[in-house]
Chain A
Amino acid sequence: MSQMTRRDFVKLGAVSAGALGTTPLGFDLAEAVQVKRDLRIEGAKEVHSLCPYCAVGCSIIAYTKDDGKGHAKLLQIEGDPDSPVNEGRLCPKGATAMQLAISTRRVDKPLYRAPGSDKWQEISWDEMLDKLAQRIKESRDATFVTTDAKGNTVNRCEGVAFAGGATFSSEEGYFAAKLMRTLGVVHLEQQARV
């Protein structure tokens, strides 16, 4: 490397890309600047979402780009600096939430396990929903109590339970409660109990 003074070095900062060519540093700074400027999220769409993990409720920005086939591809998840809750910060779980979103362990087809079987079978959505609806009806009919031993109208389904709900939206949870109560389900619970 050729001799460089501090003054020379400081001057480099003042020069814009493209004008430099090879510099006293010994490489083309313009090219380095260009590589750094092509951000992975260049031209990406910013979508406002939330962290799926704890109840701090950090706001996140999800960066997506069209993959050319009409699908949005998730590029990056970062904290949202505007939020009065997290001010752009994320913990290790939130910062790596993308891993959850694009996990290859994802189940992408309905699966069915027959009684006594040692494996899953792929099944169509229609078949699965039909079978499951039949089970719900059978169990509801078999365990429904209209009036109790004291003659009180109770209209409860004792043999079907629903457990879960802390990880989906309020709108989904409300809908689940509405449907389950309408079926007469009394064992309606979620993570709050535990």
Chain B
Amino acid sequence: MTNHWRDIQNADVIIINGANPAEAHPVGFQWFLKAKLDPRRGVGRGGGAKMIHIDPRFTRTSAVSDVYARIRTGTDVAFFGGLINYVLEKNLIHHEYVKHYTNASFLVKDGYGFSEGLFSGYDPVKRTYDTATWAYEGDAPAQAAFERTQKEILAHGQGPASAGAGVAFAKRDMQLEHPRSVFQLLRKHYARYTPDTVASITGIPADQFLEIAKIVGETGRPDKVMTVVYAVGLTHHTTGGQLIRTAALLQLLLGNMGRPGGGMNAERGHANIQGNTDNAISWEILPGYLRIPAPGQKNLNDYVTQSAPKKFDSNSWNFFGTNYRKFMVSLLKTWYGDKATDKNEYAFDFIPKPFTNSSWISIYDQALKKKMEGLILSGMTATSIGPDANQVMQALANLKWLAVMDPLPTTSSEFWRRPGADPKTIQTEVFMVPSTHWIEKDGSFVNSGRWMQWKEAAIQPEGARHDHWVLADLFARVKKLYAQQGGKFPDPLNALTMNYKDPLKPELDELCQEINGFDLTTGKRLATFGALKDDGTTSAGNWIYTGSYPEAGNLSKRRAGVQDPKKNDPTGMGFYHGWAWSWPLNRRVMYNRASADLNGKAWDPSRPGIEWDATEKKWKGDVPDYPPTMDPKDPKRWGPFIMNGEGVGRLFSSSMLDGPFPEHY
């Protein structure tokens, strides 16, 4: 979530699409109902927030919503695209926000086009796009000025060149009238999504669609805000990324991103799916959403050039791109310690480079092809999750070995003797590793709202063992086998740091500190990722968690909650900054610079995110997702979307492989 659970009570309009929170997240749903019951919320004169439920099924969530619209599954680009068209046509967008906080004014290169369902650059043989035409038109004078400044900075020995070197800044038309401005291209693209077209694609009758559009359109006003909440109804599609992105475009046009009561809010499904997505149990990333290196990248320069976002505007901080190398080097130092130095690219080659998509389905695909020999399942039963249980069970039967780490038997651990199976024909060796329950160990879970909360162990395990102790023991034994027998490339195993009091039984507290990171010259824990360096003097297992466990202690253990709302939530916005810790740096609403206008005044003074205090010269309210003392009137001030290369919300984006604008197919 860009926002968080309790924040939903701040919304005037709640769109729930592809989710059923009344049944699937009932305790989180109390905040939706609070919004509904709050007379200050809602459109027009208020009277309670309006809840709109879009779903193929009529569920308990639909039953308490103000509007329920039955949608054909997978047609959400048409639904949200229709809303985009509506708010553009009726001029209901938040003009100042769109102008200054999105890339509406950026000019796209001549050569970009969209016709007959295809974007420019399509290769019918490879069936992929060459995205070269999805680029901005370069602003040569601005670029030259920037490069001059960079040279001056370098000449004074201050910091490395920007990762954006070699990429042009974009030309902009602040009037939003140029035919190749993102704004005009967007209008043209979504002009086809008329109410009748929306009805014919989604199955939602045009008049009901217009009823919804009218409500949604009201939240383009600066003093109104809408939140979009979604779950697997939007993610469980191969086109999921674009479905969700269309809703994000709508939210940008209405000025709802970065504000309390606004945002794009995914209701995730498991206790710590967020935490372990952040820690990159995912084929294509490393902790903190760094990209996994790709074949052909020979060193860190190659890696950073190909992975880090590029700077497209002089007012773009491009925070991620600018600091990418620092985050990667700090991670490599954490894992490989003294074996990672400036002489060997900080052991960059130790990290595996996948050839192709190595995601979940590919595991079972590879097993069916007899290319996957062994699988470790941890607290997840493959047979009962995913699109094809039969395929998975066949795949498991093709493995040489399967290890199931779980407190209870599962459909995967027992697959070889399931009803109808003939165990004699299944040669898979299966290891049932009894692991401990959540309540038998400490450690943190991170909820949908990015709140990292620590739990204490309540009871001790009997026969089961902690997952991390099993893994540590296994690793030590594998390492020993390599020492005794030799084998393929044991170097990373031998280099891996295990700086724990007992390397066979690391404490979760020790791992938590490792994730936070250290100043390696002083041995002190870091208080911010801003302190990370690329010269090998800092470590951080996951930069987005740097600052969660500073020298002061483990901030995820804090409990300044609703036992004293006056003290613990002084703004009344539900931030509760002293309860646990949220990433990044305890910011509760991401992109919160966008909650205030160009002068730093809240768009809606009754629901401020951050506001500029001109006397104290700092941002107040939520923890700013922005430099805390950056003056809004400074012409060099950064744009609010600090993580991307544009510095503003991307209505048009060349980062999506199947199209810079979402399109319904």
Q: Do A and B come from one complex?
A: yes
Name the contact of A84 in the complex, choosing from B380, B407, B569 (C-beta under 8 A): B569
Complex alpha-carbon distance, A137 and B280, angstroms? 23
Q: Report yes or no: B474 in contact with A165, Cβ–Cβ below 8 A.
A: no
Complex alpha-carbon distance, A50 and B442, angstroms? 10
Does B114 lie at the interface of the complex (its beta carbon under 8 Å from any beta carbon of A)? no
Does A186 lie at the interface of the complex (its beta carbon under 8 Å from any beta carbon of B)? yes
* 0/1 interface trace, chain A 154-166, chain B, CB 8 Å (1 if under): 1111111111111
Name the contact of B380 in the complex, choosing from A47, A91, A134, A190 (C-beta under 8 A): A190
Q: Cβ of A158: which chain B residues have Cβ within 8 Å of it?
A: 366, 371-372
* 0/1 interface trace, chain B 391-435, chain A, CB 8 Å (1 if under): 000000000110101111100000011000001111111111110
Does A62 lie at the interface of the complex (its beta carbon under 8 Å from any beta carbon of B)? yes
* 0/1 interface trace, chain A 165-185, chain B, CB 8 Å (1 if under): 111111111111111011111
Name the contact of B352 in the complex, choosing from A50, A113, A184 (C-beta under 8 A): A184
Name the contact of B487 in the complex, choosing from A48, A71, A141 (C-beta under 8 A): A141
Which residue from chain B places its CB closest to the CB of A157 in the assembled complex? B352
The number of chain A residues touching the other chain, given as a range, is 35 or more
Does B601 lie at the interface of the complex (its beta carbon under 8 Å from any beta carbon of A)? no
Name the contact of A170 in the complex, choosing from B360, B446, B457 (C-beta under 8 A): B446
Does A11 lie at the interface of the complex (its beta carbon under 8 Å from any beta carbon of B)? no
Given A89-B27, A107-B409, does the pair A181, B295 have CB atoms closer than 8 Å? no
Name the contact of B462 in the complex, choosing from A108, A120, A168 (C-beta under 8 A): A108
Complex alpha-carbon distance, A73 and B405, angstroms? 24
Q: Report yes or no: B467 in contact with A168, Cβ–Cβ below 8 A.
A: yes
B126-134, B265-273, B620-628: which one contacts chain A? B265-273
Complex alpha-carbon distance, A188 and B164, angstroms? 30
Q: Cβ of B280: which chain A residues have Cβ within 8 Å of it?
A: 177, 188
Q: Cβ of B362: which chain A residues have Cβ within 8 Å of it?
A: 187
Which residue from chain A places its CB closest to the CB of B407 in the assembled complex? A106
Name the contact of B270 in the complex, choosing from A125, A163, A191 (C-beta under 8 A): A191
A2-10, A13-21, A29-37, A52-60: which one contacts chain B? A52-60
Name the contact of A190 in the complex, choosing from B282, B296, B559 (C-beta under 8 A): B282
Q: Cβ of A163: which chain B residues have Cβ within 8 Å of it?
A: 360, 363, 375-378, 380, 382
Query: How far apart are B485's CB and chain A's nearest CB, in angstroms?
Result: 8
Q: Report yes or no: B437 in contact with A162, Cβ–Cβ below 8 A.
A: no
Q: Report yes or no: B438 in contact with A84, Cβ–Cβ below 8 A.
A: no
Given A136-B478, A165-B281, does the pair A170, B354 have CB atoms closer than 8 Å? no
Query: How far apart are B482's CB and chain A's nearest CB, in angstroms?
Result: 7
Q: Report yes or no: A172 in contact with B467, Cβ–Cβ below 8 A.
A: yes
Complex alpha-carbon distance, A187 and B369, angstroms? 15
Q: Report yes or no: A169 in contact with B465, Cβ–Cβ below 8 A.
A: no
* 0/1 interface trace, chain A 88-103, chain B, CB 8 Å (1 if under): 0111001001001101
Given A161-B363, A175-B468, does the pair A170, B278 have CB atoms closer than 8 Å? yes
Q: Cβ of B366: which chain A residues have Cβ within 8 Å of it?
A: 158, 161, 187
Main secondary structure on chain B at its contact with chain A?
mixed
Q: Report yes or no: B272 in contact with A170, Cβ–Cβ below 8 A.
A: yes
Q: Report yes or no: B488 in contact with A169, Cβ–Cβ below 8 A.
A: no
Query: How far apart are A53's CB and chain B's nearest CB, in angstroms?
Result: 6
Q: Report yes or no: A106 in contact with B459, Cβ–Cβ below 8 A.
A: no
Query: How far apart are A54's CB and chain B's nearest CB, in angstroms?
Result: 6
Q: Which of A127-166 contact B (CB under 8 A)?
A: 128-144, 146, 148, 150, 152-166
Q: Report yes or no: B444 in contact with A174, Cβ–Cβ below 8 A.
A: no
Q: Report yes or no: B272 in contact with A116, Cβ–Cβ below 8 A.
A: no
Q: Cβ of A169: which chain B residues have Cβ within 8 Å of it?
A: 272, 275, 438, 441-445, 455, 508
Does B609 lie at the interface of the complex (its beta carbon under 8 Å from any beta carbon of A)? no
Q: Report yes or no: B358 in contact with A170, Cβ–Cβ below 8 A.
A: no
Q: Report yes or no: A120 in contact with B496, Cβ–Cβ below 8 A.
A: no
Query: How far apart are A162's CB and chain B's nearest CB, in angstroms?
Result: 5
Given A116-B423, A137-B487, A155-B350, does the pair A171, B508 have CB atoms closer than 8 Å? yes
Complex alpha-carbon distance, A4 and B36, angstroms? 47
Does B493 lie at the interface of the complex (its beta carbon under 8 Å from any beta carbon of A)? yes
Which residue from chain A places its CB closest to the CB of B434 in the assembled complex? A107
Name the contact of A155 in the complex, choosing from B376, B489, B514 (C-beta under 8 A): B489
Query: How far apart are A86's CB and chain B's nearest CB, in angstroms?
Result: 5
Q: Cβ of A47: which chain B residues have Cβ within 8 Å of it?
A: 456-458
Q: Cβ of B508: which chain A residues have Cβ within 8 Å of it?
A: 169, 171-172
Query: How far apart are B656's CB and chain A's nearest CB, in angstroms?
Result: 18
Does B561 lie at the interface of the complex (its beta carbon under 8 Å from any beta carbon of A)? yes
* 0/1 interface trace, chain B 438-475, chain A, CB 8 Å (1 if under): 11011111111101111111111011111110111111
Does A25 lie at the interface of the complex (its beta carbon under 8 Å from any beta carbon of B)? no
Q: Cβ of A178: which chain B residues have Cβ within 8 Å of it?
A: 335, 496, 541
Cross-chain pairs A/B with CB under 8 angstroms, 28 sampled: A52-B271, A53-B270, A55-B267, A74-B439, A107-B463, A109-B463, A129-B477, A132-B474, A133-B481, A135-B429, A137-B487, A142-B373, A143-B373, A155-B350, A155-B351, A159-B372, A163-B375, A164-B376, A165-B272, A165-B380, A169-B438, A170-B444, A171-B508, A174-B515, A174-B542, A177-B287, A181-B335, A192-B276
Q: Kindly list the 8 A-B residue pairs having the minimum CB-CB distance in the complex, ordered from nearest.
A: A169-B443, A57-B447, A108-B463, A164-B378, A164-B380, A170-B275, A173-B276, A133-B477
5 A-B pairs besides A54-B269, A160-B374 with CB distance below 8 A are A84-B561, A86-B30, A116-B424, A170-B444, A187-B362
